[in-house]
Amino acid sequence: MRYGGVLDLSTVDFPKRLCAVVFFVGCPFRCPYCQNHRLFSGGIEVKPEIIAREVVENYLIEGVCFTGGEPLMQNLNELVELIGILKDHSLDVKIDTNGYYPDKLERVLDLIDYVAMDFKSIPDRYHEVTGRKDSAERVLKSLKILANSNVDYEIRTTVVPTLTDEHDLLRIAEILSSYGVRRYVLQQFRNEDTFDPKFREINPYPKDFYYRVGKRLKEFIPNVIVRFEGEESI
């Protein structure tokens, strides 16, 4: 597995659990606003048990969040093996994913406890955000799999001026609602250290934008959460 490091303790990366965060290296997307672009390459190649060793003796945590990069870009057998070791140590597992690997997502869903999946744009503009022509089609397939599963999950959009406006968010909420999504998170865009330097010049929407639009989205989705310097359901 291509491993980029671990954060020993987080209170914000796994709902209702103290967790460690494992960073995997590699992502099929090139979102211009990405702040984790240093994980596009590099890292070290390790076996699952080496990563597990980094977290299983951390007695403060109740779970482990896999993030990246894109965790599902890793070898499936090794992912399953790592999840198995963590579960043997009574740790819950969450995966952050961009939804580009529906088949792998389906394979691990029954093994894990929580999924946070990005929905980055309206389908017609998805490729503009990700740099991949087939991204919308694959993400919609993942959405369907997730919505038909028993796993606890959230769908989230980082709201980036020039890429996503209020009209787009309403359309996204309408699509998510048609799949039965019940928890939708609007995430604050941060313009520090973005992959595309031009995005460092873009000012995020003000806080009241998130709350005003969030309230409109509740017409489609019962639980809308704003992550803007903290988290709040609206």
Report d(CA 64, CA 37) in Å as an integer. 21
Minimum distance of ligand SF4 from residue 5's CB (angstroms):
14
Report d(CA 18, CA 21) in Å as an integer. 10
Task: Write the DSSP symbol of residue 96.
Answer: E
Minimum distance of ligand SF4 from residue 158's CB (angstroms):
7
Query: Distance between terminal CA atoms of the chain?
Result: 39
DSSP letters, 99-141, are S--HHHHHHHGGG-SEEEEE--S-GGGHHHHHS-TTHHHHHHH
Contacts of 147 (CB under 8 A, 6+ apart): 179, 180, 181
Report d(CA 68, CA 87) in Å as an integer. 20
218 Cα distance to chain centroid: 21
Minimum distance of ligand SF4 from residue 194's CB (angstroms):
10
Nearer to ligand SF4, 126 or 210 (CB): 126
Are 93 and 64 in contact, with CB atoms under 8 Å apart? yes
Nearer to ligand SF4, 100 or 220 (CB): 100
Nearer to ligand SF4, 13 or 70 (CB): 70
Nearer to ligand SF4, 91 or 105 (CB): 105
Binding region for ligand SF4 (CB under 6 A): 27, 29-31, 34, 36, 68-70, 98
Minimum distance of ligand SF4 from residue 97's CB (angstroms):
9
Minimum distance of ligand SF4 from residue 69's CB (angstroms):
5
Minimum distance of ligand SF4 from residue 113's CB (angstroms):
21
Nearer to ligand SF4, 88 or 193 (CB): 193
Nearer to ligand SF4, 56 or 185 (CB): 185
Contacts of 44 (CB under 8 A, 6+ apart): 2, 3
